[in-house]
Structure 1
């Protein structure tokens, strides 16, 4: 791990600057988290800035969703949200200062002329960079303007220069200016480009550390040039690794979850999502994987971020989430589960007793599920008519006669119970199991299938108690009738 610089200890001003053109990607959330942890660890400031200069793709809906997802994760910001679309006067003033400093020049080249420059460079095996003419005289400029040409403003890059980044993650990175074109800072309509707006904002907002994805590293020397031309001091930089799926390709929905919204919809806890996001490129040691948010704030260090791509593993995320679920107090878990099921519409149309059933079943599923979305697999049968899954039906029909005997034996014994409690049900079925001389699995699995239709569910005794006496008996008899019909046909 790169340690070209000591760790960040002084109060840091950091920023998260998403573009509101879509949902909050897992990579963006990880960037936000690292910045937030640095701010909280150093007693610094976390600034939220919305880079919405792409007027066509940026939407209020996307902005609202990004803010909501940050709030869901618990990543509160200290300043902002600032919107670049509301700062045109700041950028216009910066452009005028750059003009006065001679750092930028008006470029009138057409797209065809620029492409010809690139083609010539490629033919000479040079970097396909473009540079406008910086020596046009006033008469030529007036003629171009009269013909309707409007210039873009390009930064006058010194082709023989070099920009060096002392990066917290990647170490010393050098960019020769011969491979950096005279980049545009203002379009022909006067609107700022990303590299101008980001640089000006970092300078004007006093950002001390820029922590962002490594895909931005090629922009960094350009932004450093702008800041220096404006007389400012550049921030320190840390370019964190990209996040890949298990197939080593850029993370997308095919890997299970590409956005924070996906994680929320899949039933993950915010605290578990934070824990898992922190481990995408960072580690405290070689063995610790479980962290509370407070522990992450205390232990996080940018110098422990790896240069290697981070691999997003949905299985590991589920393991971490399951552990966090089991660490919750039962009341907290129950409230969180019921809240998630309500928010997803799962309880809609299931009747007034549905939430009561969820709350009663919550402690039974807690030890088995890894996300809230798995609740239906374990306890969804409570809310539906009996439907025996193919795998479960195959289990019963391997020996139809035996299944009829043990299910009938269980029903007969349960019908004699004076009270319907988990303890009474367990004692009765255990006693019947021994009377019939059956192995526990061979006796109890058919009981489970008879009432749930599944081979995997909440515990058999607890499931019977949840269903209630009458519904349990009805399902027993329905299953026995199906088996009897099959037996008669044979």
Structure 2
């Protein structure tokens, strides 16, 4: 058997983190077993589906690098196939026309609620041996309902949750086609999974209630059943369902905030799945390790600090050429002046150790690409009459020394010894004058990158 999995989002909004994690697990399961991963866009909700949402899903999958082997398939382009199957089911007697209006169905449900029963369609138009059906109302177009079994149970061994059993008495006769002939969600999913030969369906546990309906439709069609696994939702740090109030929940918000896709993938992989104590791993390792046995049956909690920690790890590993392509646009928006400034890749190499995001890295690197503008209060505090002679000596020495980190460091120590100062007494004034700020990496490394001419010019201008 060739394993075939799918990711089947509805394009009614952005690709959220829960959807991205589902896609990742389905993709990894297919890769682990040497199978195929299919992308299907379930766009039959015409009122809410938009081309922009479709593009947001495709953009999110592309940014994450979750490449599909087949698709994307669009349900709206498969209408002829759905109508064909509806006609076959009507002919086989596994579906039937129902002429009840929505108001009539709602009235049925109200009567059942009042009687303390579960509200459902009462089977008015369901054909049974010896039953006389009502007269067809003139001019009324019917829906098509699936003839759900009346007795017995629907049971499956869920790959995540274990055995789940639901009584058929809990399920009414589902509408599978509307009066205009357009098919409904559960019917389309069942037909698609059949036609696309899905062997394993990994999806969010908000679909658990859909699964028995889809299983019954597949059985009525004589189709093989895939194995199902329902992954719990992702919660915020406060234990509530993840939402916008917890921060960004759209996958494409994260590249804009300076996150790398490998960090997001690594983080999502650990949200509800584990491999011992391993926290950091490549996607190649993940695909080798991934199995459904280690999927958690309880909800995972989103931790932005953990994601930031992983992102810092991958920024430190990233090639500086790649980082430059990501950082430069961020800095250009902040008005960075690159002409005559140090090479950006060298600055990135110096600054990336402390950066949790690309945006933080761009902000930190800006000290090399703008004129210093130190706070006058800090200047008064740190650049005293006692330190100015040391600054003057250091400035003069900088004109002739070999310009590298080691020599700058040695010169700094000579000046400190000559004036009986401690390192912060000279380093802080140098930072303020040359960069305009007190927090930087090692001062000798910073001065080396600025270059002799810039350092001497700024010191002389100040003194």
TM-score (normalised: structure 2): 0.91
| CA shift in 2, pair 1:291/1:364, >3 Å | same
Q: Is the 8 A contact 1:364 1:459 kept in 2?
A: no
Q: Is the 8 A contact 2:30 2:37 kept in 1?
A: yes
2:295 maps to 305
Equivalent of 1:353 in 315, 319, 339: 339
Distance 1:219 1:203 in 2: 16
1:23 maps to 14
Distance 1:354 1:198 in 2: 60
SS of 1:172 mapped into structure 2? strand
Corresponding pairs, count: 457
| 1:443 is the counterpart of 2:429 | no
Q: Is the 8 A contact 1:422 1:465 kept in 2?
A: yes
1:252 maps to 243
Shift of 1:475: 4.4
Equivalent of 1:410 in 387, 391, 407: 391
Shift of 1:127: 2.2
1:175-222 Cα deviation digits (max 9, x unpaired): 122332322111111111110111100001100000001111111111
| CA shift in 2, pair 1:37/1:263, >3 Å | same
SS of 1:367 mapped into structure 2? helix
Distance 2:169 2:388 in 1: 81
| CA shift in 2, pair 1:388/1:132, >3 Å | farther
| CA shift in 2, pair 1:253/1:384, >3 Å | farther
Q: Is the 8 A contact 2:390 2:426 kept in 1?
A: no
Unaligned runs of 5+ in 1: 1-9, 481-490
1:328-362 Cα deviation digits (max 9, x unpaired): 4xxx2x11211112455736864553896321201
1:484 maps to none
Unaligned runs of 5+ in 2: none
Cα RMSD after superposing both structures: 2.5
More off after superposition, 451-460 vs 212-221: 451-460
1:355-391 Cα deviation digits (max 9, x unpaired): 96321201101222122111133221222232336xx
2:109 maps to 118
Q: Is the 8 A contact 2:397 2:411 kept in 1?
A: no
SS of 1:415 mapped into structure 2? helix
Q: How does 1:239-388 map to 2 (within 5 A)?
A: 239-285=230-276, 287-328=277-318, 332=319, 334-342=320-328, 344=330, 346=332, 350-351=336-337, 353=339, 357-388=343-374
1:283-331 Cα deviation digits (max 9, x unpaired): 011x210111111011111110001111111110111122222234xxx
1:464 maps to 447
